[in-house]
Structure 1
Amino acid sequence: MKPYLLQHFLENSAARYPDKIALKHKDRVLTYAELLQKAKNLGQGLRQKGVLRGDRVGIYLDKSLEQVIAIFGALYADAVFVIISSVLHAKQARHIIDDCGVKLLITEEKYLENLGGIAAPKIYGAELSKILETTGNPAPRNIGEDIANIIYTSGSTGLPKGIVLTHRNLIEGAEIVSAYLKITADEKILGLLPFNFDYGLNQLTTSIYKGATLVLFQYFLPNSLLKILADEEITALAAIPPIWTSVFGGKMADTAELDLPKLRYITNSGGKLPVPIVQKIRAAFPQTDLYLMYGLTEAFRSTYLDPREIDRRPESIGKAIPNVEVEIINADGQLCRPREIGELIHRGACLARGYWNDPQKTAEVYRPNPLLPRDNQFLETVVYSGDLAYRDEEGYLYFVGRRDNMIKTAGYRVSPTEVEEMILQMPEIKDAVVFGAADTELGYKICAVVTLKTKISAEKIKEHCQAAAPPYLTPREIFIADSFPLTASGKIDRPQVIKEHQVK
């Protein structure tokens, strides 16, 4: 029977490969049979603690074997797992717990202080260890349309918002990504990204689905990443732009081909990868397939660029993933012509249910399909991404920027992404964030905040922009920062960067 609950992936792989290592973290491992039994034990224990079908179970743990057990344990209790990143501030963690009404929290003793005032019961330490060793075999009653996970993503207000994912969402995502990445049971996948990030969670779901081995790893420094790739003979690596920038900054920027013969494929998502970084990855890993992917948590994954096209069109986000259709529409809801910029909409598989506790925001993003006849548009919901893009004559897609981030300056509409990519062409620049600030003469003026690989002045950066593009694209204000704050998923916290550098 086709899996319809996420834990069916675990059951199927445990039946095929009971003694195979499913998870490795430092010097600890779990086989598929062990992972399955501990997940069932925890599921039974959660039920005995009063967790009912549809209740939310918070998981406030560091990346560990126990974090994965907790995910599947919650599912065996017919509950919804909610991962609370350990890098969040106490206010943000408490907001998540309160917003989704966590019934029970699985945590560590060191986080109890952050949870002051939280009424939900907590299990940790010796009690958790005892539950994991108490044999259980709960029989789930959920169906594929039931909620499996609420992922909290950073919001412009600073408080995360919850996106609701069903079992079917997670299963579709794992099956589709596994198909185009050609993942097999022989894979050793590096679990580099956090599981509170849909892209990171997908490394777990695809690995369990295919019976592969997932090696959990917390990123610190570029050398530590390269070492684990070699030591563990990793075949699959997924990362996001800030990690690639860190790896290929400084001395790594000019490193020749790296000797990692087992590394079969690399993926990027969570933000557009600047072309200079794409070129450096290709130079360092010439025998490794590089997949440039685009997605949004509201629909998980929308597009990928075939590795065979990388060198010809490194700035493209590719074409729609299997079982998904992506269109570009104008303000009137009509299809855009080739090269015409419009909003990207996503239809087909992987659409999340919406935003937890926020019907208004859900209605803004999850809308009737504008491409159906007017009287029947209500029959299908599509996701309006809020991202501006265009399609070329061959059908390849190109990301332009966020619809609500466009800067209107001196009568021109400017994408921050366009200016950022121009600045990132400079070898001295590590990262860049561009935004608009109110200006009496221009309407809005372009401002840039940069971090550096090597020393350079703001004036030199302006000179580069003036030589590379029309005057209206040159930032009027350039700030040099030591580093950028990051979100819980490891992305640059753009709202915080902008807030810290708003021109008075």
Structure 2
Amino acid sequence: MRYEAHLRARAAERPQHTALVCAGRRVSYAQLADTAERFASALVAEGFGNGERCVLFLDNRMETAAAIFGTLRAGGIFSVINPTTKADKLAYVLGDCEAAVLLTQASLLPVARAALARSPSVRRVVVVDATDDMAANERGWEAFVAPSPTLPEAPRGIDIDLAMLVYTSGSTGEPKGVMMTHRNIGHAAASITGYLRMAPDDVVLSVLPLAFDYGLYQLLMCVKLGATLVLEKSFAFPQKILPLLESERVTGFPLVPTMAALIVQLRNFKPGWAASVRFVTNTAAALPPAHIARLRALFPQARVYSMYGMTESKRCTWLPPEELDRRPDSVGIAIPDTEVWVAGDDGRPLPPDTVGELVVRGGHVMQGYWRNAEATDRALRPGRYPWEKVLHTGDLFRMDAEGFLYFVGRKDDIIKSRGEKVSPKEVENVLYALPGVREAAVVGVPDEVLGRALKALLVVGGGVELAARDVIAHCAARLEDFMVPRLIEFRDSLPKTGTGKIRRAALQAEAEGRELPGEDA
């Protein structure tokens, strides 16, 4: 089953039920499906072919949701890009996936146009909140979707076709496009909605970016069931967001650790806000046990789920809430209809309480990285049977004798901060562009709110004087918000290996207050 069929089915079954609450608008399933159909019809009318890519570079809003399903209905592949992305990275993504269409909004046009100057594959730009100052290949959203839909009822493709590319940071500094089919999405959504016990009358409040797969799946899962999604742009102002729990009678509240840290520190949390919430979820990084205890006290009617996942397989594990008291530091067991194990270098399961790499098997595992065979071969390797490949996550875990998993650390350099994966190399590339920077290394410092706070270690030469604020401003102008270092330290030198490479592992160990024997190659 192609995933856009869920939206059409829900619109037929419960047309007037609210699908989205967003920016003061209440959008019914009939309205959302009609808008998606119009977007799809307009794409096809302009020659958008099966398997072509549509990049969505805009905020959490109704048009983003409609375009996701509209792109699928047109037989295409969508990719949602964080609206804080700068022109260089956007240009890379557009070029890497050879996007045919870009959907953006007026406030982001300067960034989009700068990227488009280096993106010859893009034939059409659609602009929400369009102004009169439009280029030849740009059209306003309202005009673009105005014509009546003319698509045939038959789907444009089958369920093994690619549905989305989710760009995630890589250890080389270049983003990698994670390839997910309609079948991958359906498998993940069915498994997660099952263990969360979600139902058609649920109301989910999400402040997570649709560019973040945790946020994206809130939309995908709600549409699968016919539930309601209350979609906000961010959690920057908790006192504005939390009352929505009560006013919208929210039943599901997905969190990341940064949000949880803010909530548990509130002194005026009103019990009425939590009265209707029956499940709270967390992923991206483990919650401290103290935060879990406080969340359970603030949301006494809710089941609190600790989970672990990665973009390459969406969700990997979940901890049944009844296990929280026994093992609050565990990320649980494999999600339904999947398998996981802790493996040695040969890929075989290790004995209990032995640290190894987490391996994932199931229908939610990605197809690979877009046009990156080398990275794909590192992540997807032969499994137990001749017909399959399994995902080697690059994350170190241990499993106890009862089969519950515990996160230990990462095998590569990727840092998780604010729930997002950050490539130190990508940040370092920007730091090296700052005049006077001779050496740069970025590490993750344990932080109760962020999980890991980014710290830049710099060696400056050439008589240049730099202040921490200069470095932060330079990075803020070129990187997404979550990639900007919060801490800056200037040093006379950085430790090197015998071959002259910066000893990143040693610097990371130092940041975490632990010793690392020997040198990393």
**TM-score > 0.5 by shorter chain:** yes
SS at the partner of 1:295? strand
Gap change, CA 1:29 and 1:181, over 3 Å in 2: same
SS at the partner of 2:381? strand
Counterpart CA distance in 2 for 1:145 and 1:452 is 41
Counterpart CA distance in 1 for 2:372 and 2:289 is 37
Aligned partner of 2:149 in structure 1 is 136
Counterpart CA distance in 1 for 2:304 and 2:18 is 26
Gap change, CA 1:187 and 1:392, over 3 Å in 2: same
- Give the counterpart letter for 1:217 in structure 2: E
Deviation at 1:490, TM superposition (A): 9.6
Say whether 1:22 aligns with 2:19. yes
Deviation at 1:491, TM superposition (A): 9.7
Gap change, CA 1:501 and 1:257, over 3 Å in 2: farther
2:205 to 190, 197, 207: 190
Say whether 1:81 aligns with 2:78. yes
2:161 to 146, 153, 157: 146
Deviation at 1:276, TM superposition (A): 2.3
Q: TM-score, normalised by structure 1?
A: 0.79
Gaps of 5+ in 1: 407-415, 421-432, 436-446, 454-478
1:280 to 283, 288, 294: 294
Aligned partner of 1:127 in structure 2 is 140
Aligned partner of 2:393 in structure 1 is 385
2:354 to 340, 354, 359: 340
Aligned partner of 1:476 in structure 2 is none
Task: Encode CA deviations 1:102-151: one digit per residue, 9 max, x unaligned.
Answer: 10111122222113204322122363212323211423321101011000
Counterpart CA distance in 1 for 2:381 and 2:149 is 43
Q: TM-score, normalised by structure 2?
A: 0.76
Aligned partner of 2:403 in structure 1 is 395
Aligned partner of 2:44 in structure 1 is 47
Deviation at 1:448, TM superposition (A): 7.1
Counterpart CA distance in 2 for 1:198 and 1:173 is 11
1:360 to 374, 388, 393: 374
Q: 1:191, 1:215 within 8 Å by CA — same for their partners in 2?
A: yes
Counterpart CA distance in 2 for 1:244 and 1:350 is 27
Say whether 1:161 aligns with 2:176. yes
Q: 1:367, 1:382 within 8 Å by CA — same for their partners in 2?
A: yes
Aligned partner of 1:68 in structure 2 is 65
Gaps of 5+ in 2: 131-138, 425-442, 450-467, 495-521
Q: 2:261, 2:448 within 8 Å by CA — same for their partners in 1?
A: no
Deviation at 1:259, TM superposition (A): 4.7
Gap change, CA 1:451 and 1:312, over 3 Å in 2: closer
Q: 1:197, 1:489 within 8 Å by CA — same for their partners in 2?
A: no
SS at the partner of 1:141? coil
Counterpart CA distance in 2 for 1:185 and 1:489 is 39
Deviation at 1:230, TM superposition (A): 2.1
> Share of identical aligned residues, percent?
33
Gap change, CA 1:109 and 1:298, over 3 Å in 2: same
Number of residue pairs aligned between Structure 1 and Structure 2? 432
Counterpart CA distance in 1 for 2:444 and 2:100 is 44
Counterpart CA distance in 2 for 1:402 and 1:225 is 33
SS at the partner of 1:112? helix
Q: 1:173, 1:202 within 8 Å by CA — same for their partners in 2?
A: no
Aligned partner of 1:299 in structure 2 is 313
Q: 2:308, 2:331 within 8 Å by CA — same for their partners in 1?
A: yes
SS at the partner of 1:316? coil
Counterpart CA distance in 2 for 1:108 and 1:492 is 21
Counterpart CA distance in 1 for 2:388 and 2:305 is 30
Gap change, CA 1:14 and 1:404, over 3 Å in 2: same
Gap change, CA 1:328 and 1:335, over 3 Å in 2: same
Q: 1:347, 1:383 within 8 Å by CA — same for their partners in 2?
A: yes
Counterpart CA distance in 2 for 1:276 and 1:493 is 27
